[in-house]
Amino acid sequence: MEDFLELIVSVGEAGSIYALVALAYLLVLRPSGIINFAVGEWAMMGGFAAVSLITWLKLPYIIGLPLSIMCIGAIAWVTGLVVVNPLIKRNASPMSKVLVLLGMLIVYRETSASLYGYDPLFVPMPFGFGRVEVGPFAGSSQSFFIISVVAVVFLLAWYFFERTIWGKAFEGVAINRQAAMLMGINLKIVGMSSFISAGMIAGLAGVLQAPLTSAHFLMGLPLAIKGFTALVIGGVGRVEGALLGGFLLALLEKLTIRYIDIPSGYALGVPLLLMIVFLLFRPNGIFQNKEAK
Amino acid sequence: MQQRLLWTIIIVFLASLCFVLGGYWADIYRKMLLVITLCVGFNFLFGVAGQIAFSHIAFYGIGAYSVVIFSSILGWPLPLAIFGAIALCGVIAIIVAFPASRLEGFYLALATLAFAQLFNVVIVQGGDVTGGPQGLSGFGQQDYFGFSFTDQSYTLVIVVLFLGTLLIITRLENSWFGRACRAVHDSPEAAEAMGVDVLFIKVAAFTITSVLAGVAGVAYAFIDNYVNPLVFSLEPMFQLLFMIVLGGIGRTSGAIIGAIVIFLAPEIFEEWVGRHYILGVGVLVVLSILLLPKGVVELFDRLFKTDKLMRKGQK
Amino acid sequence: MSTLETILHITGLTKNFGGIFALNDIDLTLDEGEILGVIGPNGAGKSTMFNLISGSMQASSGNIQFLGKLTANLKPHQLADMGLMRTFQHNQPFESMSLIENIMVGASARFRKNLLTPLFQSKSQKERDVREEAGRLLKFVGLEEFIHEEVSNLSFGQGRMLEVARALAGEPRVLLLDEPAAGLTLGECENLAKIITQVSENKVAVILIEHDMHFLMKLVDRVIVLNFGEKIADKNPTEVMQDPVVQSAYLGEAGGMGIA
């Protein structure tokens, strides 16, 4: 039983990170229909920002974390402005926007590698290595930290989309750009803020992940794939879907490793198989309005 | 007649390079030809048929790995191993093509991406059968079919393979099949109403291009007598994508140009900037999407159009 | 007087969307060379009927016989292969191809899924024939001056004519035209009427869905009127115009039947 409870905590930790990445996809996908594969690299850069600010400059977490996130938000904003906006202006196909972000994936990765090198870099944990017990659940302090931060983020996100005017504006743009524009919603602001917030969320994922596995220039793509699988599993184009998908994916991953007797390398195949199965049998309308070709 | 002359010149040129280039550059030439071959096939699948299929690189790998496993581990005679590898690619391609035909756009991209990654997981975990992360090596023979392949004659084999693929793709593209593929891409509903069997077209396009990738894979295995998982991973797949984006999506000539540029980039730039040439490729791709959306081949088009205009003026 | 071949024979055609009858028990016969008009207020079931005939939707009950064969489980491309061609309410051109190539797609079935011949011959005889015919069709619909244009540069009316040419490339026995005159100028309408008449003289049956009464009434041999999924009339144009049931169905529709 204890075993299982610990598993839950570890699922919570991994699932939270996947959920964040899924949310980062969602924030750009909903208003603009763009699939941004570069979110993984944004996370990676968040990790490296943490290296600079927290490891090297030794800033306290309470300053370092928000600062790192804001850096990535800024990078996302510039990217949106310089690279994506011109394409939107000239009415380019959805495919070209996805491709340009794939190109940026390489740019982000190689620039980061040039600045930080090719070796993994250490990021300290905010609450050290201690173990914590919360009720019946036991796990590392980092796990609980991650879970609580992500819980707060999703609460805020839910509140934003369900209860505020701005959230409704986002949804409006997602459903019908033209109509939204005619109703006075400023498409540019929605677009820019969606990029900035996606950047910050993805950056946060990286800052939270980095103390666990070190910041490394290749950490982006696996996160991007898992985040997208989480989004596909979660199935609904809503914030809750990202959260649900993240946890389900993490749960299935951990369960497979723990209880099924196959070499651990094969566990990497779990999210992939899940993605294929869900895409074929339960594409479940995340993209119901966004059939991009 | 002019076309025939042009093609004869090209063929003679490509073939003679086999005998002129030595050692290192011969190796580059062989690998470049294979990459161009892959690119031309992928361009048809992606640019003409409109299927974003990241599985292309996986079939390259299935071809390479299976010919090695069949011939050196299972001990089959080489002709049988080659046939078996190609047949295996065909079977897997058809099996994947049917569910794939139900997916569109990004769903298809993701499912095929997952498939490619799964292939990678399988060969990395394959233990002794696939050689694991290190791959398989040293399996080559000196005599094939009782004929000893020198470096140069093997290069010729690859030239033939490249030209064969180019011929197949070009002929298909210019036939009713190419038009049907484009029609299905542009508007599946209208295509169906015009008598196009959409399912058949999708499955055929996917299968044919995947098998061609597999054949290239078979040829790849014997270049260095070495296969490893990295060659068949997502990174080279993204490179293929970048090549056709740079060259011009949907244009065979664009695929060739893009492949040559991106493949030779490290050869030219690695000396000066080391690994950073990859950054250059990324920037180049971004710039080309922003500034030259129809690809580099569009520049060539404009050149030749002005040419045509001039000729008309003279008449 | 030779007997005409029956092209379409429809009995009891019904389409039920969860309790709502889009079409209810429709009977219809169409002979070769006949031009049939289908009219009715919006939502009467006209497009549904087209979709059922062309195979893109399956009927809830009833039978459709095309050239004597039941079409129940046939897919649109199989029906097209048999000679059932259609156009759409909203133009659906193939934007990545030239005008000629667009038209050639209409003849796709003629190539019988033959992948081998193209590999061995760069320009087979059939390919050349189809291309030549596409050129003739382009001329027939009056678009030959645009032969080098991009499809996306065509006006709405020109795009419509391209769709007609494309459908004709399929050597149809029956042509289903979905509001072909919509958005056409007067001159384009006259051109279209001429084309339809000529096509029917070549023994091709034509079914037209139309709202433009002027255009329709002078062109068709017979008119079917649909209302709320039911057939309320099946007569020649003059009789239909005078039918009180038809007139009351249109009362309340802005402009009535639009004939002064």
Query: Hey, where are the domains in chain B?
Result: 18-232, 233-315
Using the predicted structure, report yes or no on whether residue A261 has a pLDDT greater than 80: no
- Containing A12, the helix (H) or strand (E) segment is helix A2-32
Q: Where are the domains of chain A?
A: 2-281
Alpha-carbon span B263 to B254, nearest angstrom: 14
CB within 8 Å of chain A, chain B residues 102-121: 102-107, 110-111, 113-115, 117-118, 121
* pLDDT single digits (tens) C155-183: 999 999 999 999 999 999 999 999 999 88
Return the residue in B43, B95, B101, B106 with the most chain A beta carbons within 10 A, the one to mutate for interface testing: B106
Q: Give the residue carrying structure tokens 């049939």.
A: C36
* % of chain B with per-residue pLDDT over 70: 92
* pLDDT single digits (tens) C45-59: 899 999 999 999 999
Contact A42, A202 (CB under 8 A): yes
Other CB atoms closer than 10 Å to residue A91's CB: what's the count? 6
**Which residue in chain B has the smallest CA separation from A221?**
B234
Contact A2, A138 (CB under 8 A): yes
Alpha-carbon span B78 to B145, nearest angstrom: 8
Band of pLDDT at residue B36, cut at 50, 70 and 90: very high
Neighbours of chain A (3+ CB pairs under 8 A): B
Put simply, the answer to whether A106 touches B279 (Cβ < 8 Å) is yes
Alpha-carbon span B17 to B29, nearest angstrom: 8
For the record, the structure tokens of B36 come out as 């161009």
Strands, E, within B146-213: which ranges?
147-148
Percentage helix, strand, coil for chain C under 3-state DSSP, each rounded to 5: 40, 25, 35
The CATH code of domain A2-281 reads 1.10.3470
User: Which residues in chain B have their CB less than 8 angstroms from residue C170's CB?
Assistant: 194-195
pLDDT value of residue B86: 97
User: Which residues in chain B have their CB less than 8 angstroms from residue C119's CB?
Assistant: 167-168, 171-172
User: Which residues in chain B have their CB less than 8 angstroms from residue A98's CB?
Assistant: 106
| B245/A contact by beta carbon, under 8 A | yes
* pLDDT single digits (tens) B109-129: 889 999 999 999 999 988 888
CB within 8 Å of chain C, chain B residues 124-183: 167-168, 171-172, 174-177, 179-180, 182-183
Band of pLDDT at residue B135, cut at 50, 70 and 90: confident
Closest to C177 measured CA to CA, from C53, C70, C9, C64: C53
* pLDDT single digits (tens) B209-227: 999 999 999 999 988 888 9
| B200/C contact by beta carbon, under 8 A | yes
pTM attached to this predicted model: 0.91
Q: Give the residue carrying structure tokens 């709320």.
A: C228
* pLDDT single digits (tens) C186-208: 899 999 999 999 999 999 999 99
Say whether A185 sits in a helix, a strand or coil.
Answer: coil
Q: Specify the higher pLDDT residue, B72 or A261.
A: B72
Mean pLDDT over residues A211-227, rounded? Answer: 91
| B185/C contact by beta carbon, under 8 A | yes
Q: How far B89 CA sits from the closest chain A CA (Å)? A: 20
DSSP labels for A36-74? Answer: -TTHHHHHHHHHHHHIIIIIIS---HHHHHHHHHHHHHH
Contact C170, C83 (CB under 8 A): yes
Alpha-carbon span B255 to B252, nearest angstrom: 5
Contact C49, C59 (CB under 8 A): no
pLDDT value of residue B259: 96
Q: Which residues pair with B88 in a beta bridge?
A: none
| CB–CB contacts below 8 A, A to B | 109
| A272/B contact by beta carbon, under 8 A | yes
Radius of gyration of chain A (CA): 19
Lowest average pLDDT, out of A126-135, A149-158, C165-174, goes to A126-135
Q: Spell B208-242 as b/e; 16+ CB within 10 A means b.
A: bbbbbbbbbbbbbbbbeebbbbebbbbebbbbbbb
Average pLDDT of chain A?
86
- Containing C209, the helix (H) or strand (E) segment is strand C205-209
CA angle B108, B280, A87 (to 5 degrees): 55
Put simply, the answer to whether A291 touches B125 (Cβ < 8 Å) is no
User: Which residues in chain C have their CB less than 8 angstroms from residue B198's CB?
Assistant: 77
**B and A in touch (3+ CB pairs within 8 angstroms):** yes
Cα–chain center distance at B288:
21
User: Which residues in chain A have their CB less than 8 angstroms from residue B99's CB?
Assistant: 280
Lowest average pLDDT, out of B100-109, B172-181, C146-155, goes to B100-109
Three-class SS string for B117-138?
HHHHHHHHCCHHHHCHHHCEEC
Contact B254, B238 (CB under 8 A): no
Instruction: Return the CATH class of domain C6-250.
Output: alpha beta
